[in-house]
Structure 1
Amino acid sequence: MKRQKFQHLVLAVGLAGALFASAAVAADEIAIPLRDQDVQAAGIETKPVEKSSGSDELVAPGVVAVPPQQLRMVAAPAAGLVETILVSPDEEVKEGDPIATLKSSELIEAQRAFLQAAADAALATEKLRRDEQLYKERIIAERRLLVTRAEAAQARSLLDERGQLLALDGMSEQAIETLRKERKLGAALTVRAPVSGVILARHATVGDRVMAAAPLVTIARLKPIWVNLQIPTGRAAALDRTDKVVLPSHGVDGKLIRIGRTVDPATQSVTAVAEFSPGKSPIRPGQAVQAILRIKGTGGTLWRVPADAVVHYRDKDWVFLRSADGFRAVPVTLVSETPQSASIQGPLSAADQVATRGMLTLLAELAAKDPSAK
């Protein structure tokens, strides 16, 4: 008997909770009584709501950008005069291709210092060989041999240092070896591409006198490529459920790899980054594109309505549902939208008709009937 009473009590509490939730929903709705002739005079039209699938779309504008880790700035290895620029913007280059030629007095000085170090190293090596022979014949003391060995090691280190400086100045190992053998100084320096890619920009022109480390060109690797998407703040909550990102005009699919944590104060939008591997249709840095984000469902019922059916009023999204005595303004959650349709969640049913035209009249009636606005 006690158990039955307990079950009845639990059932009563559950029914009370359901009635309370229903009353809360009803309290959020606002009735807008309108006669049929008033509806026709205002040009209000309705369309039926449709039950949406488990996923939806969000259309967002974006700009194509090169991932920063795929940008390479090629700088002048030494100060000098730019004699020629051998590449132009948008030109594809491979690693090792010549980019520019310089005339550099600093290069001549570096070559002279290298040859001096090479001569000193050869002299120290010969002196060490002679002292080792003299030490074997017990003509010199061991201390002198140790000093000679230290001098030879120091000379070799200085030669290595001068060789590395020439490499930093842009000379290849083969050119350095040729310099060592032929001992012929040259002021001409060829700057080569350190990586394969596309010339994104030129920063110097023929005849410029540049300092060491001055930028000459920027090389970019364009696979993969990024698109920086501008997402309205109110739609940013749906980004975590993005399944894939599509560029319909290029026929490529990508994925969302980053969602911004800050909001642009001018546009009130969040920047989301999508990554693509371009196919036959090129995607160029700086190009404005339109992307479609495929968004997975939230688990609740999604309803698809025309995009014009959703209005924003007092920090909420609303739709106007046809009723026997006019319309009901119902607050909803906007999950995603395209220029043609919107996916929403709210207390709707398959039999509902939603207003799609004459929205100014309904908004005015909503503002007049809204108790929170008084």
Structure 2
Amino acid sequence: MLFVCPALAEPAPNDILIRLDERQQRAAGIDVAQVQAEAGTTQTVLPGTVSVPPRQLRVVAAPAAGLLEAVLVAPNEAVIKGQPIAQLRSTDLLEAQRLFLQALAGETLAAERLRRDQQLHRERIIAERRLITTRADHEFARTTLQEREQMLALLGMAEPAIEELKAKRRMAPALTIVAPVDGVVLQVSVSAGERVAPAAPLFSIAELKPLWVTLQVPLAQAVAIETGTRVSVPGTAAQGEVVRLGRSVDPATQSIAAVVEVEDGAEALRPGQVVSASVALRPNGTPQWRLPAGSVVRHAGRSWVFIRTADGFRARPVTVVAESGSAASIRAKLAPDDQVATRGILALLAELTEIYGG
């Protein structure tokens, strides 16, 4: 066990002093290397998955139970709003049309009775009470008609078709399902000749610009990424910026999700695609340094380096902005002549754990 001065065991605001003499350092096998200054902006590469923003994804469901007579579009086909995408033959549709025509006839009859009683009341032939009753009956019939019309609309019947039904009194046995938005058909969940239940998903249609790329950001680098950070996908024209940073941590990977909205070059990406994204880490006023790999340790949810001093080492919390197999880029308040431990880290980490806890 290394010797730690009890008076220095209490953590300072930033650093934690670990007192070691030369003999103890040699016994622990500790080597050091000088830090190297880096430019304030660097790039790090993170894995990500392309997805469609929820606001741009529409699922077209069966408006009623029935037989799917025809599927008029295929996956990856572009569609425009109002374009026919399927034909559905439904007894529910016939029943809704029958009830609509019945309500239409009732409203027509009630309106005629109201006109007649209004005329009779003006001629003082009937009492006002009868006119009030007739007016209430007409209002009820009109409301019922509106309800039946809304039911047809909920079943997917277009307004021109409803007006034609109202004018010709001829029921349509099949319903044309149309695209609700402009976009691309991502998924077709049914085939022609299949019977479907009400609200069964039929198609997924999405607008593919912009797209989202969800990055998996290691906790050590999370503090170096903020809303507005620029991101690009190497080998493509796709680029965007971080619009949302996750607050929860994936327990398996100890990473957080950063959502990048890609507007420029979105056509080069595909939903579900796995990409490697280049993240531009902007300077934040803290100097940036390059260290040999293995100089940074993780403890108590923070990243640390061990800076050599005349009395031993100081453990200092740092922000990791990039890591590779040979080096790490950090942001911390260091001096150009500072030396950090590169070997014997486990011995120093043990002392840090004993002093700092966690």
Are the structure 2 counterparts of residues 57 and 241 from structure 1 closer, same or farther at C-alpha, using a change threshold of 3 Å? farther
Rg bigger for which structure?
A: 1
Give the partner amino acid of 1:200.
Answer: L
Separation of aligned partners in 2, 1:349 and 1:29: 22
How do 1:1-374 residues align onto structure 2 when only pairs under 5 Å count? 27=19, 33=26, 49-240=35-226, 243-279=229-265, 281-305=267-291, 308=293, 310-312=295-297, 317-318=304-305, 333-339=318-324, 341-345=327-331, 350=336, 362-363=343-344, 366-367=345-346, 372=351
Are the structure 2 counterparts of residues 193 and 349 from structure 1 closer, same or farther at C-alpha, using a change threshold of 3 Å? same
SS in 1 for 2:114: helix
Report the counterpart of residue 15 of structure 1 in structure 2: none
SS in 1 for 2:101: helix
What CA deviation, in whole Å up to 9, does each residue of 1:275-317 have, x standing for no partner?
Answer: 11142752111111111222223423211246x3645376755
Separation of aligned partners in 2, 1:92 and 1:28: 69
Separation of aligned partners in 2, 1:272 and 1:114: 51
Flag structure 2 segments of 5+ consecutive residues without an equivalent: 1-11
Separation of aligned partners in 2, 1:303 and 1:49: 6
CA RMSD of aligned residues (A): 3.6
SS in 2 for 1:110: helix
Separation of aligned partners in 2, 1:89 and 1:205: 12
Give yes or no for contact 2:220–2:320 (8 Å, CA) kept in 1: no
Are the structure 2 counterparts of residues 342 and 290 from structure 1 closer, same or farther at C-alpha, using a change threshold of 3 Å? same
Give yes or no for contact 2:48–2:213 (8 Å, CA) kept in 1: yes
Are the structure 2 counterparts of residues 163 and 249 from structure 1 closer, same or farther at C-alpha, using a change threshold of 3 Å? same
Q: Per-residue deviation at 1:203?
A: 2.2
SS in 2 for 1:257: strand
What CA deviation, in whole Å up to 9, does each residue of 1:121-157 have, x standing for no partner?
Answer: 1112222222222223332222222222222222111
Give yes or no for contact 1:242–1:294 (8 Å, CA) kept in 2: no
Are the structure 2 counterparts of residues 331 and 132 from structure 1 closer, same or farther at C-alpha, using a change threshold of 3 Å? closer
Separation of aligned partners in 1, 2:230 and 2:299: 32
Give the partner amino acid of 2:297.
Answer: H
Q: Per-residue deviation at 1:247?
A: 1.9
What CA deviation, in whole Å up to 9, does each residue of 1:184-204 have, x standing for no partner?
Answer: 112110111111112122222
Separation of aligned partners in 1, 2:129 and 2:350: 103
Are the structure 2 counterparts of residues 309 and 332 from structure 1 closer, same or farther at C-alpha, using a change threshold of 3 Å? farther
Give yes or no for contact 2:227–2:242 (8 Å, CA) kept in 1: no
Report the counterpart of residue 5 of structure 1 in structure 2: none
Separation of aligned partners in 1, 2:232 and 2:244: 16
Give the partner amino acid of 1:132.
Answer: Q
TM-score (norm 1): 0.76
Separation of aligned partners in 2, 1:294 and 1:33: 40
Give the partner amino acid of 1:226.
Answer: W
Give yes or no for contact 1:124–1:155 (8 Å, CA) kept in 2: yes
Give yes or no for contact 1:28–1:330 (8 Å, CA) kept in 2: no
SS in 2 for 1:162: helix
Q: Per-residue deviation at 1:251?
A: 2.7
Separation of aligned partners in 1, 2:284 and 2:17: 20
Separation of aligned partners in 2, 1:277 and 1:238: 23
Aligned residues: 335
Report the counterpart of residue 4 of structure 2 in structure 1: none
SS in 1 for 2:161: helix
Flag structure 1 segments of 5+ consecutive residues without an equivalent: 1-19, 39-43, 322-327
Select between 68-77 and 49-58 the one with higher mean Cα deviation. 49-58
Give the partner amino acid of 1:312.
Answer: V
Are the structure 2 counterparts of residues 28 and 215 from structure 1 closer, same or farther at C-alpha, using a change threshold of 3 Å? farther
Higher helix share: 1
Separation of aligned partners in 2, 1:336 and 1:231: 11
What CA deviation, in whole Å up to 9, does each residue of 1:315-338 have, x standing for no partner?
Answer: 7555899xxxxxx99867243115
